[in-house]
Amino acid sequence: MPKLKNISKISSWSKVLAEPLLIAGPCSAESEEQVMQTAIAIAKQNKVKVFRSGIWKPRTRPGNFEGVGEQGLQWLQQVKKETGLLTTVEVANPEHIELAVKYNIDILWVGARTTSNPFSVQKLADSLKGYDKPVMVKNPINPDIQLWVGALERFFKAGIHKLAAIHRGFYPFEATSLRNIPKWEIPIELKSMCHSLPIICDPSHISGNTEFIPEIAQKAMDLNMNGLMIETHINPTAALSDMNQQLTPKQLDDLLDKLIIRSISVKNNDFISVLESLRDKIDSIDQQLLELLSQRMDIVEEIGKYKSKNEVTILQLRRWEKIINTRLKQGKKLGLSEEFIKKLLQLVHKESIQKQTEVMNKIAATKKNKNK
């Protein structure tokens, strides 16, 4: 297990900026006017600190708009000069880094496709040695936390301590209304591995559609994420990439106005004592749940022995279907969601099968030894 905690030296560079760190700008820089108009409209609102824009676009299939390249960096310099916004671009190879440094881009980010490839990440880390550039690392496309951690470690080892992670969701293998599934447990685990690592949420690439961006952004804030990166375009309907998920500057302004920033805790004694007593109740219920689960597993083992004695298979499909159907109905009556109960039962059933397999294998092995 990588010791991300060892890189707790990660400087809280984002704290230098206001929290939450707000980043906005188009998916891609398309023209000087589009970049400048978007940046000026965003800067006027006085909320966003960093202007994002893709200059080199990683496209899944060839033939799509692949970015304007170096000239876009000049437009970003112009943005900085005219609006005071900091700038950030995606870099995917050492030449990108060289150019981004040449044009004084403030922050670099690594895209989801690049994070997935340790060779590419290592090349980026090597060519960043000696520069004091903050780097934000997007999660890899697949929900592999080790790849994400590994990329952060490669930068850290190269002496880049101004690091942040960007959570942009994971490729969905099943049909979903979101473009990428958030799997919030993964950024939460990353945070618990390294408390000082800022994690920024990218609700645009999670949503894939402007409709879901506000709720994803709010959820990220309620999970104590350190910032948001939101794709914003002066005229999204004419965008050359990610048209459906870009907000207009006005929509961005409305979203940020409605966003509720809750604090981790308050210094209010009443609040603390009520919370503590409710947590005591939860602790006690959890204790009961664990005891009940343990009792259930004891019976599962007993059944395992009984099945073994009678040479009966572990999986009894009819019984399993009956369990699911009855529990779903019972759960519904108790106000528990079908999805939750189904997942919970599947987990319990998997563990039960595992237990019975162990029991049966043990009995079979003893029998074999006796027969020797």
| Binding residues vs ligand PEP (CB under 6 A) | 27, 54, 58, 111-113, 138, 168, 205
| Min dist. Cβ of residue 242 to Mn ion (A) | 4
What is the Cα–Cα distance from 342 to 325, expressed in whole angstroms?
10
The interface partner of residue 111, options being ligand PEP, Mn ion, none and the CB cut-off 5 to 8 Å by kind, is ligand PEP
Residue with Cβ nearer Mn ion (27 or 252): 27
- How far apart are alpha carbons 54 and 284 in whole angstroms? 51
Q: What whole-number distance in Å separates Cα of residue 2 and Cα of residue 138?
A: 18
Q: Which is nearer to Mn ion, 61 or 81 (CB)?
A: 61
Please, which residue, 160 or 166, has the CB nearer to ligand PEP? 166
Q: Which is nearer to ligand PEP, 42 or 112 (CB)?
A: 112
The minimum distance between CB 190 and Mn ion, in angstroms, equals 22
The listed partner (Mn ion, ligand PEP, none) that binds 138, CB under 5 to 8 Å by sort, is ligand PEP
Please tell me the distance from the alpha carbon of residue 173 to that of residue 180, in angstroms, as a whole number: 9
Least separation in angstroms between residue 241's CB and ligand PEP is 7
Which of the listed partners (ligand PEP, Mn ion, none) does 233 bind, with a CB threshold of 5 to 8 Å by partner kind? none
Least separation in angstroms between residue 86's CB and Mn ion is 19
Q: Do residues 174 and 126 lie in contact, with contact meaning Cβ atoms separated by under 8 Å?
A: no
**Cβ atoms of 307 and 352 closer than 8 Å:** no
Rule CB under 5 A: say whether 27 interacts with Mn ion.
yes
Question: Among residues 54 and 214, whose Cβ is nearest to Mn ion?
Answer: 54
Residue 168 or residue 233: which is nearer to ligand PEP going by CB? 168
The sign of the CA dihedral 235, 240, 243, 249 is negative
Pairing of strands 163-167, 107-110: unpaired
In angstroms, what is the C-alpha Rg of the chain?
26
Segment interacting with Mn ion (CB under 5 A) among 22-30, 32-40, 216-224, 292-300: 22-30
Q: Does 247 bind Mn ion (CB under 5 A)?
A: no
Task: Please identify the residue of the shown chain whose CB is closest to the bound Mn ion.
Answer: 27
Find the DSSP H helices in the chain.
13-16, 32-44, 70-83, 94-102, 112-115, 118-128, 145-157, 185-193, 203-207, 213-222, 249-258, 269-309, 317-333, 338-371
- Binder to Mn ion among 90, 153, 242, 253 (CB under 5 A)? 242
Report in angstroms how near the CB of residue 113 gets to ligand PEP at its nearest: 6
β-partners of residue 227 are 21, 200
**Measured from the CB of residue 80, what is the shortest distance to ligand PEP in angstroms?**
19
Q: What angle do CA 157, 129, 186 make, to 5 degrees?
A: 45
| 240: alpha, beta or left? (left if phi > 0; alpha if psi -120 to 50) | alpha
| Residue number, 233 or 355, with CB nearest to ligand PEP | 233
Closest approach of ligand PEP to the CB of residue 205, in Å: 4
| Binding footprint of Mn ion on the chain (CB under 5 A) | 27, 242
